[in-house]
Amino acid sequence: MSIEFMTVAMFVTLIVAITLGHPLAYTLAAVATLFGLIDNGFSIPMLFYMFANNTWGLMDNYTLVAIPLFILMAQLLDRSKVSEALFESLYIVLGGLKGGLGLAVVVVCTVFAATTGIIGASVVAMGLLATPALIGKGYQKELASGIICASGTLGILIPPSIMMVVFGGLTGMKETSVGNLFAGAILPGIMLAGLYFLYILIRCNINPKLGPPISKSEASNYTYLQKWGMTLKSLLPPLVLILAVMGTILAGVATPTEAAGLGATGALILALFSKKLSFQVLKESAYATLKTTSMVMMLFIGGKFFSVVFLSMGGGDVVADLLIGSGMSSWTILAIMMLIVFFMGMFIDWAAILLVTVPIFMPIAMELGFDPLWFSMLMCVNLQTSFLTPPFGYALFYFKGVAPQGYTMMHIYRGIMPFILLQLLSIAILCMFPAIVTWLPGIFFGS
């Protein structure tokens, strides 16, 4: 069989298997096994050696040790209720503005994103905490759901992010090391949070009924100094943790893996000082960390099998020849790759998309002369949309699970549409101004 036929058949088989509802990690591994046997003349020992060698390479990757440590940090922070104290103070400080409670959610989620990369924890925590307050103050259902779902996904982009750790471990390039990715993601993450902030502020000032302010009597119960004292008190613990994790990485004092260990220790101390630490909390955090880490690593192994077989049979060359040899401009090819990632995000988990597309698209991007760090960040911002895009955006279902009665999926779908457009706008801005990505890595790491 020709390489072209095998390439198309492998992707079609994968799509059909996913559509039938089979677990993604095992589907990737099964499709890889089937086509690996066909390509190797049904030589089981050869295929076993290929898979064993790549699995050992994954297990021996020191960078990936950061994954369970960052997950443990997120689980402990989720149970220490750091976000609750911050939201309660910002509720008073920003609540008097039109759309002020929505702005408070964006700020809390941005700070929370810089301490944890677990989307489910952010969306569920803010859904339980902020939705009753937003709806109780008369916020439109669609706007409230859009704010929480979109802001909750910032954790996958703003470092420390598990996606960046996986990306860095997957490429193994100096230019796209975890440290460079973390530094490169800071400004795009803040920019995206700023776009959400401006959108809510402008839209609620145009139509105050969408996000009315809290009553003057409620806001006047506190003096100016009391308001900012509350905010600083609740903001200080997460800022110290952010400085401990990101500061040590950017200063070159610690590797991302070492900083992850420091972050997990810091989260443990925060839980202790907030009087939320108990044996039950430790047990639940450890168990949740085990489950999430196992899921990520199984996806990593299955995706690695798939990409190894696909590239070994020449599928990467087929895709590269199709795009580069088409005569299209480099920007058109970039747009096609971004569209493929965007549409895959509607149906497939971000980790699987990374594992399937990065080994294929990264060589093409470098062949076209694109900066690998900049291209990586475009991919990561694009993958953030996968949590919001219907029909299978994970953040939408996380929110629906904790939403008050009366919320339908159509409320949520309509609510997230403007925020998806803002995410696409941020990709366009990064294309026009690559220095947003490359400036900080150049300062900290000289790359």
Q: Report the C-alpha gap between 317 and 313 in whole angstroms.
A: 9
Omega of the bond prior to 359 within 30 degrees of 0, cis? no
DSSP 325-361: TTT--HHHHHHHHHHHHHHHTTTS-HHHHHHHHHHHH
**Nearest CA-CA partner of 133 in 158, 162, 108:** 108
| Predicted local confidence at residue 33, as pLDDT | 87
Q: Report the C-alpha gap between 139 and 402 in whole angstroms.
A: 17
* CB-CB contact of 339 with 378 (8 Å): no
How many Cβ atoms from other residues are within 10 Å of residue 406's Cβ?
8
> What H or E segment, with its residue span, contains residue 274?
none
Q: Report the C-alpha gap between 70 and 245 in whole angstroms.
A: 10
| Structural tokens at position 26 | 């095992």
Which residue reads 């980790």 in tokens? 351
The Cα diameter of the chain in Å comes to 78
The conformation of residue 214, written as its DSSP 8-state character, comes to: P
- Tell me how many degrees the CA angle 436-444-439 measures, rounded to the nearest 5: 15
pLDDT tens digit at each of 447 positions of the chain: 677 788 888 878 887 887 777 777 888 888 888 888 887 777 788 878 878 877 787 777 777 788 888 888 877 877 777 667 777 777 777 777 888 888 988 988 888 887 766 676 678 777 877 888 888 888 888 898 899 889 888 888 888 888 888 888 778 778 888 888 988 999 999 999 999 999 999 999 999 888 888 776 666 666 777 777 777 777 777 888 888 888 888 877 888 888 888 888 888 888 888 777 788 888 888 888 888 788 778 877 887 888 888 878 777 777 777 777 777 888 999 999 999 899 888 877 787 788 888 888 988 898 888 999 999 999 999 988 888 888 777 788 888 887 877 788 888 889 999 999 999 999 999 999 999 999 998 888 775
Q: Report the C-alpha gap between 435 and 405 in whole angstroms.
A: 45
- The count of domains in the chain is 1
| Predicted local confidence at residue 239, as pLDDT | 80
* CB-CB contact of 36 with 47 (8 Å): yes
> What H or E segment, with its residue span, contains residue 59?
helix 44-59
Instruction: Give the phi and the psi of residue 114 in degrees, each rounded to 5.
Output: -80, -5
The conformation of residue 138, written as its DSSP 8-state character, comes to: T
| Predicted local confidence at residue 376, as pLDDT | 93
Structural domain span for residue 306: 3-445
| Structural tokens at position 411 | 């409320």
Which residue reads 């096609």 in tokens? 336
* CB-CB contact of 388 with 150 (8 Å): yes
How many Cβ atoms from other residues are within 10 Å of residue 414's Cβ?
16
